[in-house]
Amino acid sequence: MNKSGRKSSVLWLAGLLLLLPFSVFSHPHVFMDTTARVEFDNGLPSGLVVRWKFDKFFSQMMVHDFAQTSQGPLNEQQQEQIRQGAFVNLVNYNFFTHLLSGDRAIPVTEVTDFSAEYEAGVLTYEFRIPLPQPTGPDLQTIAENGELIVGLYDDSYYSVLEFEADSLRVEGDVPAGMSNELQERPDKRYYYDLIVPRLFHIRWK
């Protein structure tokens, strides 16, 4: 392409960007290394334990603002202050955990066993999502579907949950022949349809 052509392309792109909504240019503010484990009991999933390890900048800000400290370990009162100030509201965002069984969503409205750790400048959350949840398919339906699908992402794109294919494991009374596969799901696109999430597909039938 000659200089004139390149210049025209650049001008066209610049014009297009000016027409896009400003919010398209927003970017994540929080980064979390994420791991999870699915607990099985009597051959069926009974809970999901999620662990978030925040980036250092956000960790230090959170601990300072909500626990009024700059060092760990956090005592029970400080953990409760963090839970109340910077966790319970995430129920409005499904706790960044998207669960399905078959084609039915499992809204995450109840979590238990929350804990917060602060070590070497890094804040870590851990919490458990019991299954089944108060709304959504019951355990019998989940059993009949023979499948639990787990998505770990924030569809508002304020936070990025980073994980690998081996970041979710299963434990307990796991049925024989169970599979755990990480798959891209274009049908779950979010953030102006720009991002295709990867979901863990756990099957035992």
pLDDT, tens digit, 9 for 90 and up, residues 92-103 = 999 999 999 999
Helix boundaries (H) for the chain = 3-19, 56-67, 76-86, 139-145
pLDDT in tens, 43-97: 999 999 999 999 999 999 999 999 888 888 999 999 999 999 999 999 999 999 9
Residue stretches of the chain with pLDDT short of 50: 3-4, 6-25
Where b means 16+ CB within 10 Å and e means fewer, 22-54 reads eeeeeeeebbbbbbbbbbbeeebbbbbbbbbbb
- What pLDDT was estimated at residue 196? 98
- Residue among 127, 130, 154 at smallest CA distance from 142: 130
Give the predicted TM-score (pTM) of the model: 0.86
Whether the CA torsion 85, 90, 95, 101 is positive or negative: it is positive
User: What is the model's pLDDT at position 9?
Assistant: 42
